Structure 1
Amino acid sequence: MPVAVMTVVAAVDVIAGPGVGFLPLVSLGPAFAGLVGGWRRTASIGVVALLLCIGLGTYDGLFQGRRGFTAMASVAGVTGVGIAAAVTRSRREAELASVRSIAEVAQRVLLRPVPRTAGALQAAVSYTSAVAEARIGGDLYEMVASPHGIRVIVGDVQGKGLAAVETAAVVLGAFREAAHDEPDLVGVGERLERSVARELQGEKFVTAILAEIDTDHGVVFLNYGHPAPMVVRNGRVDFPEPQVYALPLGLGGHDGGPKPYRVDFAPGEQLLLYTDGVTEARDAEGAFYPLGERAELLQEPDAERALAILREDLVRHADGPLHDDAAMLLLRYHGHGEGKSVPIT
């Protein structure tokens, strides 16, 4: 761009002659170079612009008066400012790259990749943040192979931004610890409730669903005001709901908590846990995303690829960026590894 601008200015100056006064516009070259290039490139373009200014000024006979020297001063001044701007921008870009690197490490610590396999299960996860350039937000997920079974959580923190990320970190930390220590899922939920109650203030809350896959072809759920899971079996789609919905974490400390309920989960079946950013995504006409009707997209043999296809379809439905974080965790029961320990790979 800088070279093109200077070429056009030079051509117009030669054609129009010295009376029009296009020569100072040669300074646009180093000006554009300062916006898009480094300081060395800007200085090089400035030198070229200065030489071009001298050549055109001599051709037009402008050095017999002040106009030629004024044009040179304009080019030199703009070049100096462009170099300073390029240096400042380079420093800020380096700082931003460092901050992004730190943020990516923090994101990986907060939302660690789930194991691809755990015992008889194959797992995949998808996370889409509603905040541009962000990889995490107020949604959370985790899968833990504990001495008491495979335990999973998917949740949604009220609000967005850094405050929601901080709350998600509290919930995930409490879940990872409780999932290993507590002998039953209700105990895990009670630990989460106490941790959230200590950290949250006012009317903030976290909807969440906890799941424990047992060894008897079943899964036990605890639902804290969260969307019902989707179970895909034999071409049918079910959304098993609790008999009574409990309040979200942070609001239900005095209601006794949710009651566990069990759902059959056998080899060949799929379980999808998700947040409301999925089912509440709207298209241009305001229609919600029909998750149940899109369950056929999960027929892809590879779990990660199947979930990626579902996510792509979700984004197409929204016809643009999602307005809320959307997390999905897919579990497939393959039937191998039954009766063995629960390795993670």
Structure 2
Amino acid sequence: MTEKKQPASTEVLSWMPIGVMAVVAGVDLLAGPEIGFLPLVSLGPAFAGLVGGWRRTAIIGLAALLLCLALGAYDGLLEGRRAVTAMASVAGVTCAGVAAAVMRGRREAELANVRSIAEVAQRVLLRPVPRTAGPLHAAVSYTSAVADARIGGDLYEVVASPHGVRVIVGDVQGKGLAAVETAAVVLGAFREAAHDEPELAGVGERLERSIARELEGERFVTAVLAEVRSGHEVVFLNHGHPAPLLVHRDGTAEYPEPPARALPLGLGAHGVEPPHPYRVGFRPGDQLLLYTDGVTEARDAEGVFYPLEERAHLLKDPEARSALDALRADVVRHCGGPPRDDAAMLLLRYHRHGGSEDAPAAAA
């Protein structure tokens, strides 16, 4: 196991107290006692309190006090007020630095607890998808637009039900805890309905009723549901979501658009007709990429959207996980930095029953 390296900025700050005290000592020796650099020795424990623990801060404070005594003796100032004032300054700053280090340590411990709770919430809300489900191989990628966040407004799930492999990818309106609450309601309803409802349209109706019952206000979720049974085809139910990307075995790609546009989940009270399921051929060697608009609406410095269909060749890697990682890295390069919106991608590959995964023709 390799040791995790500290960030460069943290490493510089950790050495700064010693460097500052060395510079102050050198300048004091060169300038002589007339200038009065002794109080600046207190900068050492001041910087130590920024990154170090309270013990390290106390040790550097003690070293600063000894350095102040040594410089005072060298300058012949130990019997005057200047030396006493300088040592009092070092002692005061050291005490303040120790107190700040203790408080920072407590806050870091609280933050670590919050992050551990967030990780548990992520495992409950966005569970790892099964690597294989029926005739499919699956891989997922999720990137949050919020730094250090592990959950957000995008959702996904793969359920191997008695009625086939059922999948959902969705994008919740809004951000923050309200979006996470909506995502939890949708995922909970989907996991239950995917097992109970014999038809995919029934799953969509259950999701609509759950959102209307559990959530207040006009919250909505764009989502695409997919169902893979026997017969080399996939059934889609699109609730106002971007059409999936279907990559055929020969490398050609297309977007299976719904026959008619439908409103997102949560807006069924407006009396608009719900979406109708539609079928598309899906055969061994084909790939299906379901995603959120954080992928296709990612822009470069000139405002150009990410050309997903043109990048379909990046999915040629025989390993589904590696192929999805390559696509995600390309999205980040296109943006030139972190994403501005949550971005979820779910890759499904159709393999032969009882055999190994058929890589796309481009991989061959």
Report SS of the residue matched to 2:155: strand
Q: Distance in 2 between matches of 1:167 and 1:337?
A: 38
Cα pair 1:246 1:252 within 8 Å, conserved: no
Report SS of the residue matched to 2:130: coil
Alignment of 1:1-345 (within 5 A): 1-233=16-248, 234-253=250-269, 254-337=271-354
Report SS of the residue matched to 1:64: coil
Cα pair 1:282 1:318 within 8 Å, conserved: yes
What's the TM-score once normalised by structure 1's chain length? 0.96
Q: Distance in 2 between matches of 1:129 and 1:42?
A: 36
Cα pair 2:224 2:241 within 8 Å, conserved: yes
Q: Distance in 2 between matches of 1:119 and 1:171?
A: 23
Cα pair 2:65 2:90 within 8 Å, conserved: yes
- More contact order relative to length (CA 8 Å, sep ≥ 6): 1
Match in the other structure for 1:341: none
The residue identity in structure 1 corresponding to 2:341 is D
The residue identity in structure 1 corresponding to 2:335 is A
Unaligned residue ranges in structure 2 (runs of 5+): 1-15, 356-364
Report SS of the residue matched to 2:78: helix
Q: Report how many aligned residue pairs link the two structures.
A: 338
What's the TM-score once normalised by structure 2's chain length? 0.91
Deviates more, 1:59-68 or 1:134-143: 59-68
- 1:103-131 CA distances to partner (integer Å, 9 max, x unpaired)? 11111111011011112110000111111
The residue identity in structure 1 corresponding to 2:261 is Y
Unaligned residue ranges in structure 1 (runs of 5+): 339-345
- 1:42-70 CA distances to partner (integer Å, 9 max, x unpaired)? 11111111111111111111122211111
- 1:194-237 CA distances to partner (integer Å, 9 max, x unpaired)? 00112333332100000000111011010000000111112211
Q: Distance in 2 between matches of 1:150 and 1:313?
A: 29
The residue identity in structure 1 corresponding to 2:344 is A
Report SS of the residue matched to 2:103: helix
The residue identity in structure 1 corresponding to 2:300 is D
Over aligned residues, Cα RMSD in angstroms? 1.0
Cα pair 2:118 2:150 within 8 Å, conserved: no
Q: Distance in 2 between matches of 1:326 and 1:337?
A: 33
